Structure 1
Amino acid sequence: MNRSRTPRPHVVVVDDDCDHCVLLALRLEHHGYRVTTEQTARAALEVLEREIVDAMIVDVRLDQEDGLDLLVNIQCRSLDLPVIMLTAHGSIETAVEAMKRGAYGFLTKPFDDHELLQKLEHAVERIQLRREVAGLRRIVGSSGSEPRLLGASAQITAVRDIIARIASADATVLVLGESGTGKEVAARCIHALSSRRDAPFIAINCGALPADLLESELFGHKRGAFTGAVQDKLGLFGAAHQGTMLLDEIGDAPASVQVKLLRVLQERSYLPVGASTPVKTDVRVIAATNRDIRSDVAEGRFREDLFYRLHVVPLAMPPLRERPEDIPLLAELFLSQTSAKHGLTTPHLSHDALQLLLAHPWPGNVRELANVIEGATLLTTDGVLRTHHVFAVLPHPSLTELASRRPPPTLDLPQVLLGVEELPPMREARERFDRAYLSEALRRAAGNVSAAAKVAGRNRTDFHDLLRRHGIEASEFRP
């Protein structure tokens, strides 16, 4: 494959044999692939949550885990992702079972390098072609693209769980959250997981148009209803028939439109402007707002009856500052996306630049982070994204304020080991060192477990296990 002008395909190797992982990674990197190696199923799934992956190579027999079960979990998260299964215990039955569960291919150790590389190249070409088709669908307005709420934090995981539970129902949903937290992405996820997924998803900003124009856009009008109405207009509720309508910034909807929206929710019908006969509608309504809508109700700016009609299932989107552990994952993903978008080699995010991203309060949330990463990536020249690249595009507070958010140094590693009158036993000294090292890594990462694990050169799962073993709480190191 000619990869001189495109990012290297990303392959994840999952094998509990560390030596085999290293050997396979060296082989694949020599042939132009970017390789991530993991020893556990959980760590491999975490990679899928935070990075774009082009193919996976999975050992059927993992330590205390079943590679075929991992294959099923991968398929649940990304149906099109090609997975090549490896085993030293090959059999016809195992191969057939793997292919039944959706494996792209199956090889038995020791395998022929040429066979693996050929199968891997075909797999990568297939998924890249599918992504290209999905991109074309997005351009022409098809619903073929799959929305994703990204992150591994408890907060965003809880949001995904709620969406999975409510999507199949037809209940009205009110998505609450600050600007840039992903309210429209959440609405698209609900639509994509519902029985209406093959029908239109239509979004409109209720605060972007004057009352008369918004009413006409939503409900349509009859010819001659007002000056300029030279023909009948269907309206968005008509266009979204049997699909989903997102009423974004519902808190900014004018009072006259609120009345009509209440009728849609109560009677499943609406009256086009200038019409005398109601039109029936079959549309699932999702509303979203960044306002304190309860206060608007209390102060008479928003209809109380409409609020309760919309507030059937509330869905709160967490701000990015409340899930800082997702920042490294999102930053790496946006780096990959920006590089692919502009035809660049994906730069490395420096440790100091990551610290700056972790210290920023992100009032614009995930949208602001994506824009900052894109702007900073375009400024890099040597393959490393540094702090001055971030500062060049970040609407940042003063350096003094940023510094004040970081916890002061609390540990001196040499003193932890040697600052005692009597030299302790080696095992005790090792435990002291491990505890001090873990604490120092967390301090430098401002309590962000993913970032601290990256500093320590460990995967996130192993790092969590080490913290539990030594009784260390990451929250104690957060600003």
Structure 2
Amino acid sequence: MALPQYATDRPEPAAPRPHVLVVDDEEDLCRLLTLRLEHHGFRVSTEQTARGGLEVLEREVVDAMIVDVRLEHENGLDLLVQVQNRSVDLPVVILTANGGVETAIEAMRRGAYGFVTKPFDDLDLLQKLDHAVERVRLRREVAGLRRLVGSAHHDHRLLGTSDAIADIRELIARVGPSDATVLLLGESGTGKEVAARCIHAQSSRASHPFVAINCGALPPELLESELFGHKRGSFTGALRDKDGLFHAADGGTLFLDEIGDAPPSVQVKLLRVLQERSYLPVGATEPAMVDVRIIAATNRDLQAEVLAGSFREDLFYRLHVVPISMPPLRERTEDIPLLAELFLTRATAKHGLGAAHISSEALQILMTHSWPGNVRELANVVEGAALLTTDAVLRPEHVRTVLPQRAEDSLVEFRPRGVERPPQEALSILGSNGNFPRMRQARDAFDRLYLQEALRRSGGNVSAAAKLAGRNRTDFHDLLRRHGIDATQFRP
């Protein structure tokens, strides 16, 4: 019986239609452009305001734009500048009134790809769009090969346009060239190893090895041997001398992931390396010298571990020279469209699926998920969904099939008998999307709600609100200032 030929029977996926965004305040013209462009194989989105156009750019990948220079109460050239600031490679074709030569010249000076005068010629517009789309396709293809696909090495870039990730990049740029020990903090999947590689790449050690190990992945005896090496006969099975990872990383960087899982015996030896730049291989009598920069990472609260006695206080302060907290994905949701598109490019190249794109409906699902697994979870979900596509479009049903079900959707809530469910305000403090906050975060959120309610009940009178709260007026003012609350907003 012949086996089915899956590899040869699968049809080639259709190439995605280029996405054109039209921004024009004339509804009839938008409909006309949509009909003409869709007839020639484009996918078209239309908006009648500059703000609407910018919101589309936040949500979706756009290959080219058509912008009317005269929008109602707005200037299309100002929108052009904003688009250029967000994406310098996005081609924008300007629509101008017949005879508006000076405006057209100004548009080109500001970076427009081209201009078309009204009433426009279909062929002229289509040629400009075809050339613009081809140019952006080639640029993305080259960028994708350089950054995502065509290398067996890890990506050394922290991708995203959010303020949160921009702050991390700036901090890494300042710390990278130094030899300072860095402690990367944050939830699993936030990109701590990528950040460590960025630091190494920007240091004077970049031409030397970058060696990484997960301290929680090995039993204590094996971890000690892997890090520091051993001498023959030092334990059962040690049939020959072995150099450890510190020796392998000499001159470069050693990345200790999940440092909070390191056992006490390893913690003592790590402290010696940081203090004296030497270590003792297992079974050895003479220390070995080493020149290694250490970058550690953890998703634990190491200060709490110190108080609990499970992590050495002196080692904590040796590692905590430059702490960098990696933001969770739920705090940088504006990066999701870019990351999802990049992960899709990587997945389609990895599995030989051909070019694909994410539908706006699927992207909306990705934008509203809480991502407890952060960037790593997003990458896995996009890759799984890409394997389900049949027409080069990643749709909502593909995402829902591979998206892990949230715990609060699948488990019956346990509530002790006679205990009422907290009010909605309390639930919002405790995290309605399954992300339970730290006690300090919850306390700050409650204090803010409490102060706002006191002002609401007192009609914005600070003295009366302080009396309600049982605090003196000066203390109450300090609390308002600390939480950024303006009492005048609560006055009738």
Shared fold (TM-score greater than 0.5)?
A: yes
- Tell whether 2:300 aligns with 1:291: yes
- Tell whether 2:197 aligns with 1:184: no
CA deviation digits over 1:171-213, x for unaligned, max 9?
2221112222332233233334444444433321011112232
User: Secondary structure of the residue that 2:323 maps to in structure 1?
Assistant: strand
For 1:200, the equivalent position in structure 2 comes to: 209
Following superposition of structure 1 onto structure 2, how do residues 383-394 of structure 1 map, counting pairs within 5 Å? Answer: 384-386=395-397, 389-390=400-401, 393-394=404-405
CA deviation digits over 1:342-361, x for unaligned, max 9?
5274352538x946973x55
CA distance in 2, matches of 1:27, 1:238: 66
Give the stretch that moved more between structures: 182-191 or 217-226: 217-226
Residue type of the alignment partner of 1:8: P
For 2:144, the equivalent position in structure 1 comes to: 131
CA distance in 2, matches of 1:169, 1:278: 24
User: Secondary structure of the residue that 2:286 maps to in structure 1?
Assistant: coil
CA deviation digits over 1:118-139, x for unaligned, max 9?
5753663464255336556543
Following superposition of structure 1 onto structure 2, how do residues 39-438 of structure 1 map, counting pairs within 5 Å? Answer: 47=57, 117=130, 121=134, 124-125=137-138, 127-129=140-142, 131-132=144-145, 135=148, 138-139=151-152, 142=153, 145-150=155-160, 152=162, 154-222=163-231, 225-230=234-239, 232-273=241-282, 274=284, 276-283=286-293, 285-322=294-331, 338=347, 341-342=350-351, 343=353, 345-348=356-359, 350=361, 354=364, 358=368, 361-376=370-385, 378-379=387-388, 384-386=395-397, 389-390=400-401, 393-398=404-409
Tell whether the 8 Å contact from 2:385 to 2:398 is kept in structure 1 after alignment: no
1:310, distance to aligned residue in structure 2 (A): 0.8
Distance 1:177 1:350, change over 3 A: same
> Which runs of 5 or more structure 2 residues have no equivalent in the other structure?
1-10, 70-74, 95-100, 118-123, 414-420, 426-432, 434-492
When normalised by structure 1's length, the TM-score is 0.59
The percentage of counterpart residues that share the same residue type is 47
Tell whether the 8 Å contact from 2:211 to 2:253 is kept in structure 1 after alignment: yes
For 2:469, the equivalent position in structure 1 comes to: none
Give the stretch that moved more between structures: 289-298 or 332-341: 332-341
Distance 1:207 1:393, change over 3 A: closer
Tell whether the 8 Å contact from 1:347 to 1:385 is kept in structure 2 after alignment: no
Residue type of the alignment partner of 1:394: Q
CA distance in 2, matches of 1:323, 1:136: 24
1:400, distance to aligned residue in structure 2 (A): 9.8
- Tell whether 2:16 aligns with 1:5: no
> Which runs of 5 or more structure 1 residues have no equivalent in the other structure?
76-81, 409-445, 447-479
Q: Who wins on radius of gyration, i.e. which is larger?
A: 2
Residue type of the alignment partner of 1:397: E
Distance 1:122 1:205, change over 3 A: same
1:238, distance to aligned residue in structure 2 (A): 3.2
How many residue pairs get matched? Answer: 385
CA distance in 2, matches of 1:114, 1:272: 69
CA deviation digits over 1:442-467, x for unaligned, max 9?
xxxx9xxxxxxxxxxxxxxxxxxxxx
CA deviation digits over 1:18-53, x for unaligned, max 9?
9999999988877766678999799879958x7778
User: Secondary structure of the residue that 2:267 maps to in structure 1?
Assistant: helix
Distance 1:276 1:51, change over 3 A: farther
Tell whether the 8 Å contact from 1:356 to 1:387 is kept in structure 2 after alignment: no
Distance 1:387 1:32, change over 3 A: closer
User: Secondary structure of the residue that 2:187 maps to in structure 1?
Assistant: coil
CA distance in 1, matches of 2:228, 2:268: 12
Give the stretch that moved more between structures: 157-166 or 169-178: 157-166
User: Secondary structure of the residue that 1:397 maps to in structure 2?
Assistant: helix
CA distance in 2, matches of 1:196, 1:46: 42
Tell whether the 8 Å contact from 1:175 to 1:289 is kept in structure 2 after alignment: yes
CA deviation digits over 1:108-155, x for unaligned, max 9?
87878657745753663464255336556543xx35x34324363x54
Tell whether the 8 Å contact from 1:182 to 1:317 is kept in structure 2 after alignment: yes
Residue type of the alignment partner of 1:173: V
Distance 1:68 1:348, change over 3 A: closer
CA distance in 2, matches of 1:51, 1:235: 48
Tell whether the 8 Å contact from 1:219 to 1:272 is kept in structure 2 after alignment: yes
CA distance in 1, matches of 2:260, 2:224: 15
CA distance in 1, matches of 2:289, 2:401: 52
When normalised by structure 2's length, the TM-score is 0.58
